[in-house]
Structure 1
């Protein structure tokens, strides 16, 4: 009897001690949690709150909800006060001692969201966001999706509505070739094309390791499409001919290109080999093998180019468009040749966002070429969605330009990224002006000075009406340019480029002297 009593007493004692320390530790942890306010009072916001309360380990101590419309008649949700949005958000944060704001109200417009974020960043409050909750019971999944507000969120636009029927008609059951498939644009085109159930996707790139990684990723996708990885170079026409002959593509997305402005300024022959000769090779073979549709990915740097890279892409645009017009004139137009032109893509290889992110992680400074420089931006998925849409709607010969939204001042982008990381610009993280790079200009354009636009059925896509070139003359000049590039005579190459693209005026470059001699 004594043994039973002793065992029971010892067991209860241990349970009580364990309970005491668990409560003590939980209370201690709660004291170190960041106090947070949830912006929103709907079911989405409540689901987010429940998910955060069940987190182990916890990140936030919730202190209230903000009601945007000040219409919620109840005074409490989950035992927490509802704060009427009659005062500034920063005032509510200060009054309740909160360090973080979680945006869970999906009715917020982009402008309202930006105003709230800017206000919070000005007072060094952290901002978090969460996507629309689809399964309110899955608290772990909701919790995982609550993340720091990213710079991409600041540039967020209305979701693009695609004409899935026309894209599906173009791609379903077809053989699709994507050049530059391992790059940031090419790889996203692969991901999106797979969703439309093609028969096969041929992923061509000369970069072995990135292509291997993409292959591993695509193989995990539940798709009936056959995926083929080809190590190949668009500069090698014989190699490309073998790919076209073997796989008989119906649709080609040509994303292979050299795109780094300073590098191409120092290596003009390489820009010609890949951006001009490579495009010519793929386009000529698309014609030879009666491909249904050829879609080229171009850039806003091709408009009134100030550098070798932009001029090389403009020559590629000219070749593709004049080839289509020549085939139509000769009644041989089996292939539709389409060009898509857009600005900077957030998060792509070499763009400012990953560069700034790395510089912030390293403690700065952020390097900026000029305080007044501006750029157009869109996200990688957004750009590729529009490429697919333009490719499906194109009749051939068009240069499609995309609605890039408002241009962004890069110094403002840098300051916002520093604040979003929890630092103060020019105090915790310095911003250093290093001067414009060779070939760089302060702003980019989507249209040539002499160009006009035509609308399409898609509000975000327009057709640029460019001056057409005579194909025979352009072909002769292009082949002459490729030959000059083979001699690695940089000055002669750039001089020939300026002959083909008269609006090509070099900026901040050793090739500016060629413009002076032309003017003289």
Structure 2
């Protein structure tokens, strides 16, 4: 309200014609002042001559201001360009005056009229200084009154490049909130002790909570795109809000709007730069294809739909059993003006339903993202995990092979590596089945593995956000637990890229940088929410859940990798399988009775030697196997009969 009042006053009383009149008054005043200066502050000059010269100066200066338009600028936003326009006006005024004097001397239009050259030079200089100073004085007065009557936000700008200067200008010219830039922060020691627009450049080492509190800093605005993750994390730990300026290409009409400055997100603290895919071959890969996406309403599936809809595909077939979520995806596509899709509610465990979809729509590519993924729930329901993650994948892969689909991209997880849970084991079995199927199919079966996806359904980030909103302690299973993370768009882009480069039979793994300690992630989320740990919100350690790992792995025992043309995508070299034996045993497991959980888990352990349960009831099978091997003195995999006896 106060801001609107100031704006109203400045528009009503500081109109361009008022500025024009004030500028003329200043020019006349400085002309008289020059005479006093020239004659040692005495009246030893011809006053009659002065009174004749004043109207002439008034006309010439008025004409000069009209031609250049220097009085039209908004005084409270005076900048370098406005000062340049003042210089042009004064220069034109002086030039016109000298020209008239020379013409009058030659033609004697006004008898005896002249102005000493020293007076003209001094008047030009003094007028330029007085006009510039008047604008600066008004701007300072306006800002001073705003500071007194409006709430001022004291900020630091992290970065001194062009983006930093543009951010500074956007802040000081903002009309809705008053910002006071206390300093610029720069890592370059060469800039130590320097200033920008009178604002000191500080070294990062000066940023301590002592300094933040003593200077009453409200916010630190990061403008540097290449800020190191350690530096960003250290900023988050300070007693000030940390915000970030978007990339220049996202600025509106090439200018930064203060509203675009957003708080640092948890994605910014991943410890690595964002993964970017810029492959023009993707357009050619998907042009004219009919693509079926299972789990299309899930986190990864819906993002795949979003990205694939931007390509020139023939049709997208969206399959999911979650009716409401699938409806939302459908509506989002329609709102975006995209109609080359069909949404189908279906269960991938229903072989006849899947076959009819393939028969009616004839997909040429399949992205299989449907799965049960919650580790503790699947630990209690091995049968359901098998039916969806293994049998569902099997039915979909078999159908794809039967209809000669070009490519089948299976989205797996790093929990399939040296699995410690039923969920991870079922995903590994699904990997193994499609690897076996590759030997007898024209379809190219491709597997992709990656870690946790930030913000996906059921992931730790939404859980923490909900707990913070409710003001309850954040629950963490172990203080030292770590996970690999990537964003939903990153994961989807990498899946598409891997699907493009796959020749069939590969397992692609993604370089996700360093694993992230979840305890640190929790503390950062509390901080980013404007709260303090543990004063406002605490973190409660609950203990590892059944089947949960302390840390995830990207490679299983005995596996290694091959590089690809994309540095973030590697090909996993898995151990050799007895394809016929593995395929038949998986097929047999898929028809296991739902009440035989123990039998299901034992068969999975037989199929996957590296499967060792953790913090689960099924650990007893691993212990019995180890005792049996020790007693019998054997190291090889034990037989079906031995497993059943155990």
Alignment match of 1:249 (pick from 359, 363, 380): 363
Using a 3 Å threshold, how does the CA distance of structure 1 residues 362 and 318 change in structure 2: closer, same or farther?
A: same
Q: Which residue of 1 aligns with 2:183?
A: 64
CA distance in 1 between counterparts of 2:576 and 2:368 reads 21
Alignment match of 1:149 (pick from 264, 271, 277): 264
Query: Deviations along 1:124-174, whole A, 9 cap, x unmatched?
Result: 221101211237664997333211111110116334343523322221111
Please state if 1:83 is matched with 2:201: yes
SS at match of 2:292: strand
Q: Which residue of 2 aligns with 1:478?
A: 586
Alignment match of 1:307 (pick from 421, 427, 431): 421
How many residue pairs end up in the alignment?
488
Q: TM-score, normalised by structure 1?
A: 0.87
Alignment match of 1:386 (pick from 494, 501, 526): 494
Using a 3 Å threshold, how does the CA distance of structure 1 residues 24 and 463 change in structure 2: closer, same or farther?
A: closer
Alignment match of 1:340 (pick from 448, 466, 486): 448
| Contact map agreement 1:182 1:210 (CA 8 A) in 2 | yes
Query: Rg larger in 1 or in 2?
Result: 2
| Contact map agreement 2:561 2:572 (CA 8 A) in 1 | yes
Q: Which moved more, 1:375-384 or 1:462-471?
A: 462-471
Query: Deviations along 1:341-395, whole A, 9 cap, x unmatched?
Result: 1111111111111111211222230111011111111111111111111110011
Give the C-alpha shift of residue 40 in structure 1.
2.1
| Contact map agreement 1:66 1:85 (CA 8 A) in 2 | yes
SS at match of 1:164: coil
Matches within 5 A, 1:112-511: 114-118=230-234, 120-134=235-249, 138=253, 142-155=257-270, 157-162=272-277, 164-223=279-338, 226-324=340-438, 326-327=439-440, 333-484=441-592, 486-511=593-618
- Alpha carbon RMSD of aligned pairs, Å? 2.6
Using a 3 Å threshold, how does the CA distance of structure 1 residues 385 and 504 change in structure 2: closer, same or farther?
A: same
Q: TM-score, normalised by structure 2?
A: 0.71
Considering fraction of residues, name the structure with more helix.
2
Using a 3 Å threshold, how does the CA distance of structure 1 residues 355 and 247 change in structure 2: closer, same or farther?
A: same
CA distance in 2 between counterparts of 1:122 and 1:163 reads 34
Unmatched runs of 5 consecutive residues or more in structure 2: 1-8, 14-141, 629-646
| Contact map agreement 1:365 1:432 (CA 8 A) in 2 | yes
CA distance in 2 between counterparts of 1:136 and 1:454 reads 40
CA distance in 2 between counterparts of 1:268 and 1:252 reads 26
| Contact map agreement 2:482 2:550 (CA 8 A) in 1 | yes
CA distance in 2 between counterparts of 1:29 and 1:233 reads 63
| Contact map agreement 2:418 2:612 (CA 8 A) in 1 | yes
Query: Deviations along 1:17-74, whole A, 9 cap, x unmatched?
Result: xxxxx999954663x3431111223332233334334546427443333344366699
CA distance in 2 between counterparts of 1:163 and 1:102 reads 29
Q: Which residue of 2 aligns with 1:39?
A: 158
| Contact map agreement 2:276 2:490 (CA 8 A) in 1 | no
Q: Which residue of 1 aligns with 2:622?
A: 515
| Contact map agreement 2:183 2:202 (CA 8 A) in 1 | no
Using a 3 Å threshold, how does the CA distance of structure 1 residues 59 and 476 change in structure 2: closer, same or farther?
A: farther
| Contact map agreement 2:282 2:500 (CA 8 A) in 1 | yes
CA distance in 2 between counterparts of 1:431 and 1:127 reads 22
SS at match of 1:201: strand
CA distance in 2 between counterparts of 1:80 and 1:133 reads 25
SS at match of 2:412: strand
Unmatched runs of 5 consecutive residues or more in structure 1: 1-11, 17-21, 328-332
Q: Which residue of 2 aligns with 1:4?
A: none
